[in-house]
Amino acid sequence: MLIMKDISKIFQTGDIQTHALRDFNLTVNEGDFISVTGPSGSGKTTFLNIAGLLETYTHGEFLLDGEDVGKLNDNGRSRMRNEKIGFIFQGFNLIPDLNLFDNVDVPLRYRGFNAKQRKLRIEENLERVGLASRMKHLPSQLSGGQQQRVAIARALATSPRFLLADEPTGNLDSEMANGVMSLLEEINQQGTTIVMVTHDALLAERATRTIQVKDGRVSELEILAQQAIA
Amino acid sequence: MLESGIIIRALMRNKIGALLIALQIALTMTIMVNAIFMIQDRQQQMQRESGIDEKNTFYLTNTVFAQDYNIQVEMQADLNLIRKMPGVVDAIQINAIPLSGGGWSMALQHEPGDDKDTVSSALYMVDDHGINTLGVELIAGVNFTPNDIQWRASGQSTWPDKTIITKAFAKSLYPDDWQSALGKTFYISQNQPMQIVGVMKNLQAPWNGWSGVERSMLVPFQMESQGSKYLIRTEAGRRDELMPIIEKALAERIKGRLIRRVTTIEDTRKKSYRQHNATNKILTTVVSTLTLITGFGIVGLALFSINRRTKQIGTRRALGATKWQIMRYFMVENFIISTFGVIFGCIGAIALNMWLATTFNLTPINIELIIIGAITLFIVGQLAVLYPARKASLISPATATRTI
Ligand SMILES: Nc1ncnc2c1ncn2[C@@H]1O[C@H](COP(=O)(O)OP(=O)(O)O)[C@@H](O)[C@H]1O
Ligand SMILES: [Mg+2]
């Protein structure tokens, strides 16, 4: 469970204050596949970064798996990112100097798994995204869609509870985007909670829950919808 | 160990920068180790004892210009005057001063005749006060007696039949048992017999760069010449006070000669090793500068590669790396580059030393120096990479999503 209560985030750039999130409230339940849409600059990435512990928030309360994130120090946050969260980026963010095997290995090493466990997890997850045969390839030798699949394998390798994706299909053509989306659906069905920011209305609809962010808040539509469900 | 395998593989895809730094480390180590070796060698040379009582000894020159000057009589009178002065231990006339750079060299041979093997040595002409004035230690045999002392005219080619030599000289004559030199007769100027009556612990030749610098001999001669040197030894701490007094006393005792160049042995030593000191300073500067440049090179390369990898570092943080794990990455990377540098540096250092050893007749380098050089460069590398690594560790994980 991921619970955000009245989270706000203020960026201070010189004299200018930007309220990226204002009283942001959201509960993500185990097994959810949530798509987050909203206009550019509305705070989607900020929300996802805070949810993924990449950024701190200014006010509010944030519980992840029952743990108060605000009380963690930098090392604690690193550990929690590694154990509970898998992150997928719009630009894939694979390490260009490392082959697929070593790329998937990165978070496993930070976790401190031994070589045998790591090998098992790397092979299993590359298998899961259909790229086990290309373990020794460099990212640059793959298509965008394949690179994003490697990134998904890397995010899943540590068996996180939450998969956070910021426009994972933003750099892909529609066919590849479709493939990645299907993969995410499959992963969600296998039990991983997913929060995905997207611009693509068609993909957004395929999620089990859709929320809209506007001006740093979860928009009225979503709140109404939540009430309707209740 | 510590993801070094991954780091090496990543390095192999960006070889040039790392290779240049490794080469720089290798070059620095090559030069550092050999320079330190040369510095140490010089320092050891400078620390060798001359054998004389350096702190309390000085000398001056006596130049006679008067026509009616009785050199033999006046010299004896000079020495008697100095020897009686309070605070003076002893004084002699001598032909050359240890460490001064100028002097006499003669050779002794086991058998008389031409084409025989000889061993050369510095030669000091002194009277029976020589041992006491120089402050050398007689470790075997006896001193000259007053009867042994002869006058030597300018240009005279015959020699007295007695000598006192240093232990090092005795060892050169009898490599297996220096003591057997005592009492033996050798030949000087091919065929003039000369018996070794005493052995001194040590007394250096005037030339500090000569490989036979420890070989010296005393012969019982007083020189009858217009120009001569007086060497004077004082009681501890009284040298500076007595120098002007003696200079004045000599000048006033008799006219017709000049007393000049009153010089301490300490100054002579300083002058003698001025070049050594200067060279060592230059070498030290070169080595420090080179090390500093290498350090800055490492800082530069690390900062460059960190700037280039900002997003990658942010991604690593997003995937769960702690700040320390990011720092460690760059420190291990530097350690790997340094290892390559140091390995080539070892080879370079030994190669350069071998070349120097054959070209300039230096002794081979010792292994400790190479180990110290290697450790120094590892430390320099780790210190240099500390700031860039710290900077890298402060890159926000949000960089992963915020940069394109
Ligand atoms: N590091 C930052 N410093 C200042 N302002 C920022 C920073 N990051 C984001 N913002 C601002 O916060 C707001 C929300 O940004 P973001 O969450 O990236 O929006 P979205 O992902 O929905 O396009 C924007 O106005 C953006 O300019
Ligand atoms: Mg965004």
Chain A residues with CB under 8 Å of B396 CB are 54-55
DSSP string, A82-145: HHHEEEE-TT----TTS-HHHHHHHHHHHHT--HHHHHHHHHHHHHHTT-GGGTTS-GGGS-HH
Q: Which atom of ligand 1 is nearest to the CA of A13?
A: 4
Place of tokens 């009867």: B147
Is residue B403 pLDDT above 80, yes or no? Answer: no
Stretch A54-64: mean pLDDT: 96
Q: What is the pLDDT of residues B263-274, one digit of tens each?
A: 999 999 999 999
Ligand 1: which of A7, A46, A49 to mutate, most ligand atoms within 8 Å of CB?
A: A46
Say how far apart CA B95 and CA B130 lie, in whole Å. 12
Q: Taking a C-beta distance cutoff of 8 angstroms, is the pair A9, A20 a contact?
A: yes
Stretch B167-182: mean pLDDT: 94
Instruction: State the DSSP H helix or E strand holding residue B22, giving kind and residue range, or none if neither.
Output: helix B15-47
Ligand 1: which of A7, A9, A11 to mutate, most ligand atoms within 8 Å of CB?
A: A11
Q: Which domains does chain A have, with CATH numbers?
A: 2-229 (3.40.50.300)
Say whether residue B319 is in contact with chain A using an 8 A CB cutoff. yes
A42 lines ligand 1 (CB under 6 A): yes
Q: What is the pLDDT of residues B384-395, one digit of tens each?
A: 999 999 999 999
pLDDT for B86 equals 96
Ligand 1: centre distance to CA A179 (Å): 29
Taking an 8 Å cut-off on Cβ atoms, the answer to whether B322 and A74 are in contact is yes
Is residue A221 pLDDT above 70, yes or no? Answer: no
Ligand 1: centre distance to CA A217 (Å): 13
pLDDT for B17 equals 87
Stretch A57-85: mean pLDDT: 95
Is residue B326 pLDDT above 90, yes or no? Answer: yes
Instruction: State the DSSP H helix or E strand holding residue B35, giving kind and residue range, or none if neither.
Output: helix B15-47
Chain A residues with CB under 8 Å of B312 CB are 93, 95-96
Is residue A220 pLDDT above 70, yes or no? Answer: no
At A174 the three-state DSSP class reads: helix
A73 lines ligand 1 (CB under 6 A): no
Is residue B311 pLDDT above 60, yes or no? Answer: yes
Residue B3 binned pLDDT confidence (cut-offs 50, 70, 90): confident
Taking an 8 Å cut-off on Cβ atoms, the answer to whether B400 and A93 are in contact is yes
pLDDT for B364 equals 83
Stretch A195-202: mean pLDDT: 93
Taking an 8 Å cut-off on Cβ atoms, the answer to whether B397 and A106 are in contact is no
Place of tokens 């965008």: A144
Q: What is the pLDDT of residues B27-44, one digit of tens each?
A: 999 999 999 999 998 998
Q: Percentage of chain B surpassing pLDDT 70?
A: 99
Say whether residue B396 is in contact with chain A using an 8 A CB cutoff. yes
* Structural domain spans, chain B: 4-47+274-401, 66-255
Beta bridge partners of B224: B153
pLDDT for B83 equals 97
Q: Is the dihedral of CA A206, A209, A212, A213 positive or negative?
A: negative
| DSSP designation for A33 | E
Residue A226 binned pLDDT confidence (cut-offs 50, 70, 90): low
B322–chain A nearest CA distance, Å: 6
Q: Is the dihedral of CA A88, A91, A92, A98 positive or negative?
A: negative
Stretch B74-103: mean pLDDT: 96
Provide the token pair at B344: 């080539």
Taking an 8 Å cut-off on Cβ atoms, the answer to whether B396 and A55 are in contact is yes
Higher-confidence residue: A1 or B1?
A: A1
Stretch A101-125: mean pLDDT: 95
Q: Percentage of chain A surpassing pLDDT 90?
A: 93
Say whether residue A98 is in contact with chain B using an 8 A CB cutoff. yes
pLDDT for B2 equals 63
Average pLDDT of chain A to the nearest whole number: 93
Interface predicted TM-score (ipTM) of this complex, two decimals: 0.94
Q: Percentage of chain B surpassing pLDDT 90?
A: 86
Sequence-separated (6 or more) residues with CB below 8 Å from residue B346: B29, B370, B374
Stretch B341-347: mean pLDDT: 96
Q: Which of B315, B397, B401 sits opposite A166 (nearest CB)?
A: B401
Taking an 8 Å cut-off on Cβ atoms, the answer to whether B312 and A81 are in contact is no
Stretch B209-228: mean pLDDT: 94
Is residue A230 pLDDT above 80, yes or no? Answer: no
Say whether residue A145 is in contact with chain B using an 8 A CB cutoff. no
Q: Which atom of ligand 1 is nearest to the CA of A43?
A: 17
Backbone dihedral angles phi then psi of residue B382, each to the nearest 5 degrees:
-65, -40
Beta bridge partners of A62: A4
pLDDT for B334 equals 94
Say whether residue A91 is in contact with chain B using an 8 A CB cutoff. yes
Q: What is the pLDDT of residues A3-57, one digit of tens each?
A: 999 999 999 999 999 999 999 999 999 999 999 999 999 999 999 999 999 999 9
Chain A residues with CB under 8 Å of B316 CB are 95, 106, 110
B312–chain A nearest CA distance, Å: 6
Sequence-separated (6 or more) residues with CB below 8 Å from residue A168: A88, A89, A90, A148, A151, A152, A180, A184, A196, A198
Ligand 2: centre distance to CA A41 (Å): 7
pLDDT for B365 equals 85
Average pLDDT of chain B to the nearest whole number: 93
Q: Taking a C-beta distance cutoff of 8 angstroms, is the pair A195, A88 a contact?
A: no
- Ligand positioned closest to the Cα atom of A11: 1
The 10 Å Cβ neighbour count of residue B227 is 14
Is residue A224 pLDDT above 60, yes or no? Answer: no
Q: What is the pLDDT of residues B112-136, one digit of tens each?
A: 988 888 999 999 999 999 999 999 9
Sequence-separated (6 or more) residues with CB below 8 Å from residue A48: A36, A164, A166, A195, A197, B401
pLDDT for A145 equals 94
Q: Taking a C-beta distance cutoff of 8 angstroms, is the pair B198, B155 a contact?
A: no
Ligand 1: centre distance to CA A43 (Å): 6
Say whether residue A110 is in contact with chain B using an 8 A CB cutoff. yes
Residue A189 binned pLDDT confidence (cut-offs 50, 70, 90): very high
Q: What is the pLDDT of residues B243-252, one digit of tens each?
A: 999 999 999 9
pLDDT for B262 equals 95
Q: What is the pLDDT of residues A119-158, one digit of tens each?
A: 999 999 999 999 999 999 999 999 999 999 999 999 999 9
Q: Which residue of A has its CA nearest to B395?
A: A54
DSSP count for chain A of H helices, then E strands: 8, 10
Best probe of the A interface among B319, B327, B403, by most A CBs < 10 A, is B319
Say how far apart CA B139 and CA B160 lie, in whole Å. 22
Residue B5 binned pLDDT confidence (cut-offs 50, 70, 90): confident
